[in-house]
Structure 1
């Protein structure tokens, strides 16, 4: 699960936390900078940082190293206290976190439209209770909204850390009392088990591997093992230089060459994790260690926690208000604003609360309880308001209602193969004579076709699977896609009553115009034609750079609905050059074409509304109104 799913710099120990031997290391603060800056630039869409999300994995290693060093030293000395440990954690985490959540609730209540506001108080409750990774794991799918409207999505990593630190100190205490010689072995075994689970589940698409502790714990344990000392000291300077250099290269390659399509986490997470571990262990006294100790990097490292807290909400709210991804001047402004907000939060919130002379231990516990209580009350109050629609006039609400204009059959008839359910037959009470085979783009199109079929006393079968275009031999992230496609083809072959097969997918997503993919589609069409079935290819739906109902609602707010325009037709055609090049050949073979581009973009600019109704329910899925328009225009 990636998409825009954000990464973050977790609260990885105090800014001047010692390492396992109790000595402050500037290079670790510099390493924090090398973690948070790629995260910031990745989320701001800066070129060259397509894998910047690996910064969170680097932070996990740093956290595991620093915190384990402190715990192990105090446990070994016999004066470790859980109360003192959580006092330090609360000082580090809660003041800046509470302020950020409070600001997010206020900004969302002022800015968000009803359909988008409802999820914010729920995520605020989860973030306050350090359970946001669990919440976002369950809050996935088409109807929960994308990452671009979840200003607290980045708190998932904080939740992972705090869940880890509930049990880890107790584990070290128990091992010290019962099996001190086995401490390193037990930690290594747990780390290996967590890594094994992550690798086995790396193609998981539910979010489990991305969000939950069992598949993330090994990254924290990697740092913990360094702190516990099983890795020998490297006496040779040249070897330390080489290992540190390899660590830096591993991180740089992950940041520069990983992207949203990379299967992550899992075995691919080894590069940033081992790279960070190599730098922590080998960098001191090397040229790379001196580089990491460079003043500007150390400065960014010091503010890394506050910077991570504030950068994502600033990006989300800016893109929401403008209906556009960050670019150009806005991009630079938000990067600068994030650095400024991080600096102010570190100087005026983090530092004062970490000073035990200014804020005693009892006060920090009282503050934490009060802050958590207040945030829960505010979140619940906002939750009771629902989307708080009374803030907006009816015309605005009518446009936002387009987010719910998906097929009434979507929940029951989509992804039936993945749910081991029987495919739906839609239309009249008659034997089906057609099938729509496709990904999620086919759901509303099937519904529109079923209305037409019902009027003709016909019916058709829906076989749609998320992120799985109807192409035999296509290898998706979810390995079950290939099986779903084979099952659909086998069903066509087994049922001679199916005389027509519709093929629909998100052809214009930028990934499917590869000549090799188009070749597989060509062979799939040939295979269906060999069964003497008619093929109807439903062409690319023009994707928009914004959520359409939200954009229309914003334009309605400002009295500019008449200026509603989508992307240029030329832009869509440029993204599907190889696919469209075969249309003439397919037509010559008897393949029919339903072309959404022709229906939606007759004058060059693509329509996004018709008769006051949004033609999409998000940025690229047609609404039922849009699907009916496309089917009617091609008859």
Structure 2
């Protein structure tokens, strides 16, 4: 080995069973479960996955490094252990998911499930979900295998990591810690540099997640010196616990994550692993219910998400009230059965031999691949549903035919679309994704009048100057749109459209920025028309209508109350009223779609939305026709 001594195995932490680590597993899975079940107070529960990564890096690295140092590491034996731990319970869950989806899911929703199952079988689901993005890929609420992305990240890590340790032990044993510290810092730097990226790279892919596993690995390799003073161990363990709890309670969907935001929970988990034994915090983690939950954590992670997704799909509503606790209880019941009758037996080499586990793993993978391919070939299996249900589900496709070409043109460095007649445009619709179908509906009217309109729409980017979005390109897109409006004297009318009723845009600071934007447009000599809030629904509208139609209940279709929409847009509507008195035109979707009490979700047998809050072309035509009739 080039004259260098191999690292001694006593430089690797001996990773025996630790009850406090099972307690830490409970501290990881419970926030994830409660966050996914929409339990108030756990808005940052998603950080539990990051804790799992640290635990995994610590436990697995301890085993690999010790065996490598002692010259007895076997790739085959390593993967045999991984298969025992991962594959049997995962395979049973995936079989159940495929069966449940084939029974429950409408055609457009079913098609993605076998594709994700195929990817999960090959431990590549993180790659699939990273590429399966966009408005028409289906949201998380129809992806019962979405949670397998984290298993894929781990398994991809454990393809290369053992090989890296073997190569380092063979050629540069004294550099092991330096190499792993450098890899940790490089991965963290990448995650930090890309934390504002909205493509999903930092969330789903290994390069930006590896540092979390490597932090655990560094602990196992004793890169971090032991803390000998009891008071310091107590303080660090308590600080780690507080860091995790604070992240669970204070983080939410708007927190920049992962990246630098993942440091508190990751370092908190590392502090507990390193310092918790023989401390008060460590004794808290060994509380029997926490240890028991930790033992169930893998199966609980596997089963909770499909149960939540299928329940919400069947009811067309997010979990709430008693229903959420029933699903949480069912998750624990399934987790216990999985742990007792699948995990434990298959992890025991005296019960299931190495040859048997490898054969079972191969057979289950082949079975899952064949089932997935068969369901993919069925193309959504529409014969399961009535023609009326399929007609409603077709509303998913009722979006602007120019959406793919015209939406997000700025982000694609493309020229904005001109819609309508083949003539110099005299109007522009500036907005977020809510404006796409409205721009198309306006263009149909413009074409009939021999006019044209420009569409400038950017995802999640309301047409408000100085709006600070997670993606900095939003502000750039808005500045470019405003500059283009000022620079083009032929543009007389500017339509402003956004997801005003999303719950975030009613803040007084945002309203002030919108007011300023409207004033600047008017000062530039433009006629301003604001298209008001579209009533958001608590369910996917075509799916809800299809479920009702399947049971002959389409006449019962109704959306949210008008009072709900008014409550979410109180400050905005006050601004709209004042601007209208000052000469700004207002197109009001609420007036077009709602009576005094309830908002409609279908008209003349057609869905007014293509998801839960974007108007379909039919819905956009309804709104524009209503405003024209009132003009």
| Paired position in structure 2 for 1:483 | 476
Whether the aligned pair in 2 keeps the contact of 1:406 and 1:624 (CA below 8 Å) is yes
| Paired position in structure 2 for 1:514 | 507
| Paired position in structure 2 for 1:286 | 279
CA shift digits 1:11-40 (9 cap, x unpaired): xxxxxxxx9314211000000000000000
Whether the aligned pair in 2 keeps the contact of 1:20 and 1:70 (CA below 8 Å) is no
Secondary structure, counterpart of 2:454 in structure 1: strand
- Give, in angstroms, the shift of residue 281 of structure 1: 0.3
- The 1-side partners of 2:163 and 2:214 are apart by 15
| Paired position in structure 1 for 2:9 | none
- The 2-side partners of 1:367 and 1:583 are apart by 64
Does 1:369 find its partner at 2:362?
yes
- Give, in angstroms, the shift of residue 77 of structure 1: 1.0
Whether the aligned pair in 2 keeps the contact of 1:20 and 1:66 (CA below 8 Å) is no
| Paired position in structure 2 for 1:88 | 81
| Paired position in structure 1 for 2:59 | 66
| Paired position in structure 2 for 1:505 | 498
- Give, in angstroms, the shift of residue 501 of structure 1: 0.1
Does 1:146 find its partner at 2:139?
yes
Residue from 23, 28, 46 that aligns with 2:21: 28
Secondary structure, counterpart of 1:537 in structure 2: strand
Does 1:426 find its partner at 2:401?
no
| Paired position in structure 1 for 2:242 | 249
Does 1:112 find its partner at 2:130?
no
- The 1-side partners of 2:119 and 2:439 are apart by 37
- The 1-side partners of 2:246 and 2:15 are apart by 32
CA shift digits 1:112-133 (9 cap, x unpaired): 0011000000000000000000
- The 2-side partners of 1:583 and 1:81 are apart by 69
Does 1:582 find its partner at 2:575?
yes
CA shift digits 1:351-394 (9 cap, x unpaired): 00001111100111111110000000000000000011011111
Whether the aligned pair in 1 keeps the contact of 2:507 and 2:571 (CA below 8 Å) is yes
- Give, in angstroms, the shift of residue 590 of structure 1: 1.0
Whether the aligned pair in 2 keeps the contact of 1:194 and 1:217 (CA below 8 Å) is yes
Pairing 1:594-609 to 2, within 5 Å after superposition: 594-609=587-602
- Give, in angstroms, the shift of residue 289 of structure 1: 0.4
- The 1-side partners of 2:321 and 2:480 are apart by 47
Residue from 80, 85, 91 that aligns with 1:98: 91
Secondary structure, counterpart of 1:100 in structure 2: helix
Secondary structure, counterpart of 2:530 in structure 1: strand
Does 1:496 find its partner at 2:489?
yes
Whether the aligned pair in 2 keeps the contact of 1:20 and 1:68 (CA below 8 Å) is no
Secondary structure, counterpart of 1:607 in structure 2: coil
- The 1-side partners of 2:585 and 2:138 are apart by 34
CA shift digits 1:528-587 (9 cap, x unpaired): 000010000000000000000000000111111111000000100100111011122101
- Give, in angstroms, the shift of residue 603 of structure 1: 3.0
| Paired position in structure 2 for 1:631 | 624
- The 2-side partners of 1:366 and 1:582 are apart by 67
Residue from 66, 69, 75 that aligns with 1:76: 69
- Give, in angstroms, the shift of residue 588 of structure 1: 2.1
CA shift digits 1:75-101 (9 cap, x unpaired): 111101101000000000000000011
Residue from 606, 613, 618 that aligns with 1:613: 606
**Residue segments in structure 2 that go unaligned for 5+ positions in a row:** 1-11
Q: Aligned-pair RMSD on alpha carbons?
A: 0.7
- The 1-side partners of 2:64 and 2:586 are apart by 66
| Paired position in structure 2 for 1:313 | 306
Residue from 172, 193, 198 that aligns with 1:200: 193
| Runs of 4+ with >2 A deviation | none
- Give, in angstroms, the shift of residue 604 of structure 1: 1.4
Residue from 328, 337, 351 that aligns with 1:358: 351
Pairing 1:518-533 to 2, within 5 Å after superposition: 518-533=511-526
- Give, in angstroms, the shift of residue 294 of structure 1: 1.1
Does 1:534 find its partner at 2:560?
no
- The 1-side partners of 2:442 and 2:376 are apart by 38
| Paired position in structure 1 for 2:542 | 549
Equivalent pairs counted in the alignment come to 617
- The 2-side partners of 1:90 and 1:342 are apart by 18
Does 1:160 find its partner at 2:153?
yes
| Paired position in structure 2 for 1:277 | 270
- The 2-side partners of 1:390 and 1:230 are apart by 60
Whether the aligned pair in 1 keeps the contact of 2:15 and 2:59 (CA below 8 Å) is no
- The 2-side partners of 1:233 and 1:607 are apart by 64
- The 2-side partners of 1:576 and 1:588 are apart by 18
Secondary structure, counterpart of 2:82 in structure 1: helix
Does 1:571 find its partner at 2:564?
yes
Residue from 383, 401, 404 that aligns with 1:408: 401
| Paired position in structure 2 for 1:417 | 410
- The 2-side partners of 1:563 and 1:24 are apart by 57
**Residue segments in structure 1 that go unaligned for 5+ positions in a row:** 1-18
Secondary structure, counterpart of 1:135 in structure 2: helix
Does 1:435 find its partner at 2:457?
no
- The 1-side partners of 2:374 and 2:596 are apart by 48
Q: What TM-score do you get using the length of structure 1 for normalisation?
A: 0.97
- The 1-side partners of 2:228 and 2:385 are apart by 68
| Paired position in structure 2 for 1:340 | 333
- The 1-side partners of 2:146 and 2:14 are apart by 35
Whether the aligned pair in 2 keeps the contact of 1:506 and 1:540 (CA below 8 Å) is yes
Pairing 1:1-80 to 2, within 5 Å after superposition: 20-80=13-73
- The 2-side partners of 1:478 and 1:264 are apart by 13
Whether the aligned pair in 2 keeps the contact of 1:468 and 1:476 (CA below 8 Å) is yes
